[in-house]
Amino acid sequence: MKEHECPVYASPDYPETYGDLMDWAIEHVKEPDKEVFFRMVDEAVTYSEFGKNVNRICNLLKETGVRKGDHVAIFLSSCIEYAYLYHALGKCGAIMCPINPFVRGEPLEYILKHSDSKYLVTTNELFSEKISKILPLIQGVKCVFFTDKKEALKGLESVLFSEFMDHSADFKSKEKVTGDDIQGIWYTSGTTGVPKGAVITHKNYVYRILYFADYFRLTNQDVIYYILPMYHVGYAVWGGPLAMAAGAEIVQVPWFSASNFWKEVVHYKATVTLSTGTIIPIILNQPVTEEEIVGKEQLRIWIGWPVDDPRSVTERWPNIKFMEAYGTTEAPVAAIADYERPEFGSAGPPTLYTDLKIIDPESGREMPQSQVGEIVYGHKLGPNYILTEYYKDPQKSKEMIRDGFWYSGDLGMLDEKGHLKFADRIKDYLRVGGENVSSSVVEAVVRKHPSVMEAAIVEKKGELGHDEIVAHVVPKEGSTIDPKEFFEFCNENMAYFMVPKYLVIRSDLPKTGTLRIEKYKLRKEGIPSNAIDRTVLGIVLKR
C-alpha cells in the first residue's frame, strides 16, 4: 500500500469487511501457499491455509444454522480458532460478541443475556467452570461450539468446532455483507454498573486497519509479535487483521511472559510489538540478556501506552520507535505520535481522519488550546466510522453520540503543538493491568457479601504505574468481616483483575449532605495503616 496525503480507504479499491479483507490479502500476497500469516506456539498457518480454513468454518456455521445477523458469543482465551472466527463470522455476516474469558458469575450472565447470542463458542473447561451453572438462566443460546472436547447438552445442540475440517474449502455467501453491516457488539466497562455493548460496523474497524498498515509503513517483511489477548479490540485492529492488510506475519502468544519476551522477539524475527504501559516496567526490571541485545536492534516499532519512564526506555532501547496514542473501542484512534518524530508525554497530533475538539463538559463550549476539557471527536468520513449505538441502550447512545461525535467521557487538552494530552477520566473506572475496571461493578459484587452494608472502591497507584484496587467497606450491624473470607468471596464472584488488593474495614464512609460517598477523601487517604493486603493472606487469584 502507498501512504496517502489523505485517507482514502473508503473506496471500491479497498475491502470494507473482515471477510473481504482476508480474500483481498490472499489475492495480494505473492506466494500465499508459502507465506506464513499466523503463528502460535508450534502452529504456523500460511495465508492460503488460513483462507481455506475460514471458508470451511463458514460452511460449518451455515450447516449449523448460523445466518446473517445472528449473534455469536466467543468465550475463549487466545487461540487460532479466535483468529479464524474474526473473518469467518465477517464472511457470513454473523455478529461477533467477544467476551473476556476471565469474567464469571453475574457479569458473564448479564453479557450472554444482553447480547441476545444464539450461538456460543468456548472450551469444555470454560464451559464447565463458568457457563454450565448459569446456562439455565440464559434462554437465547441454542447451540454451543466446543473447540476442544464436545459435551452433550440437555436441550441444546453441541458441535465440535474442529469438524470444520470435514467441510469444503469453497464458500459463497447468498447474503451480501457490506461495510455498513454490524461486525460486532463489544462490551466495555461502564460507569452505570453493567457493561455497555458498543455496536460496531465492519467499515469502522477495517478503515482503521488499512490506515495503520500505511501509517506504520508495514510490508510483507514485517512480523507483529502480539502479546495482548484476542478478545480485546486491540487484536481486531492492530493484531492479525493489521498484519493481513500488509501481507505480513503475526505471532500470537497465549500469555505474556517477561522472561520469554526477547527470546521470542529474536526467534520469530519480530519487528513490531504492542503492549499496555504496565508491561513496559516489567520488562525494564528484567536483566539485559543476549537476546535483548539482538532483539532491540531488530524491533522497530513498539506501541505501548502510557510510558511512565521515558528516560529509562530511550536509554535502554534507543533505536525503537515508541508510539503513544489515544483511542477507544467505540471510535477510531483519535491521535497518535508523529511517526518520524515520536515524543513521550502526549498522544500526538490528531490522525488525518479525526475531527477532534475539547469541550467544557458543563457548558459544551469549545475550550482554547492548553485548557482541559472533555475529549470529543468524530470521523471526517461520517458517523458510520464510529459506533452505531449502545446495544439496547438508547439513553446511553443519546448521551454519548451526538451529531456524529463521540463524547468520550475522558478529559484532555491540545498543547501548544496541537498534540493531544490525556488528563484524567470523567468516567468512574480504574485501569488495572491493562484492563478497564468499573468501580461500580466491583462495588455491586462486594455489596452482595452477606456481611457488607456499604462499599466504596477507589484506586491507588501501584509500583508499576497501574491502579491497585482499595475496597473500603462498612459491615452490617452486628456482623464482622473476615478478611480472608472476603477476598475469597471476591475471587469467586469477579474476574481476577477486579479483585481488590487492599481491604479497609470502616465504621462509616465519608459522605456529602446528599449522602453521596466522597471518594476523593478516600483517595487522599491512600493506603491506611489498618488496610489488609490480599497478598499477605496468600490469596491466589483465579484466572
pLDDT the model gives residue 192: 39
**Is 70 exceeded by the pLDDT of residue 507?**
yes
Helix, strand, coil: what percent of the chain each, to 5? 30, 25, 45
pLDDT the model gives residue 142: 94
Strands annotated E in 249-343: 249-252, 272-276, 301-305, 321-323, 325-326, 335-336
CATH 3.40.50.980 in the chain is located at 18-201
pLDDT the model gives residue 308: 67
Q: Are the CB atoms for 337 and 303 separated by under 8 Å? A: no
C-alpha separations of 376 from 57, 357, 400, 401, 411 in Å: 40, 5, 9, 10, 9
Q: Which is the CATH superfamily of the domain at 207-235+248-381+402-425?
A: ANL, N-terminal domain (3.40.50.12780)
> Nearest CA to 107 among 7, 193, 1, 223?
193
pLDDT the model gives residue 3: 42
How does pLDDT run across 378-428, given as a tens digit for each residue? 999 999 999 999 999 999 999 999 999 999 988 889 999 999 988 766 766
∠ CA 286-290-294, nearest 5°, is 105
How does pLDDT run across 147-173, given as a tens digit for each residue? 999 988 988 999 999 999 999 999 998
**Is 60 exceeded by the pLDDT of residue 512?**
no
CATH 3.30.300.30 in the chain is located at 429-537
Would you state the CATH architecture of domain 18-201? 3-Layer(aba) Sandwich (3.40)
Average pLDDT over residues 119-125: 97
**Which residue has better confidence, 190 or 97?**
97
Average pLDDT over residues 104-128: 94
Which one-letter amino acid corresponds to residue 434?
A: G
Alpha carbon 180 to chain centroid distance? 22
Q: Which helix (H) or strand (E) holds 408?
A: strand 405-414
Task: Report d(CA 136, CA 113) in Å as an integer.
Answer: 11
Task: Report d(CA 188, CA 435) in Å as an integer.
Answer: 10
Please give the CATH topology (third level) of the domain spanning 429-537.
GMP Synthetase; Chain A, domain 3 (3.30.300)
For residue 528, give the 3-state DSSP assignment.
coil
Least confident of 98-112, 302-316, 474-488, 528-542: 302-316
Average pLDDT score, the chain = 91
pLDDT the model gives residue 413: 93
Residue 515 — very low, low, confident or very high, per pLDDT cuts 50/70/90? low
For residue 336, give the 3-state DSSP assignment.
strand
pLDDT the model gives residue 16: 95
Q: Are the CB atoms for 141 and 153 separated by under 8 Å? A: no
Taking CB atoms within 8 Å and a gap of at least 24, the contacts of 104-108 are 104/129, 104/130, 104/492, 104/493, 104/494, 104/495, 104/542, 105/134, 105/445, 105/492, 105/493, 105/494, 106/445, 106/493, 107/194, 107/195, 107/441, 107/494, 107/495, 108/75, 108/134
Q: Which residues contact 450 (CB under 8 A, 6 or more apart)?
A: 476, 479
Task: Report d(CA 213, CA 211) in Å as an integer.
Answer: 6
CATH 3.40.50.12780 in the chain is located at 207-235+248-381+402-425
pLDDT the model gives residue 30: 92
How does pLDDT run across 62-101, given as a tens digit for each residue? 999 999 999 999 999 999 999 999 999 999 999 999 999 9
Q: Are the CB atoms for 197 and 114 separated by under 8 Å? A: yes
Residue 433 — very low, low, confident or very high, per pLDDT cuts 50/70/90? confident
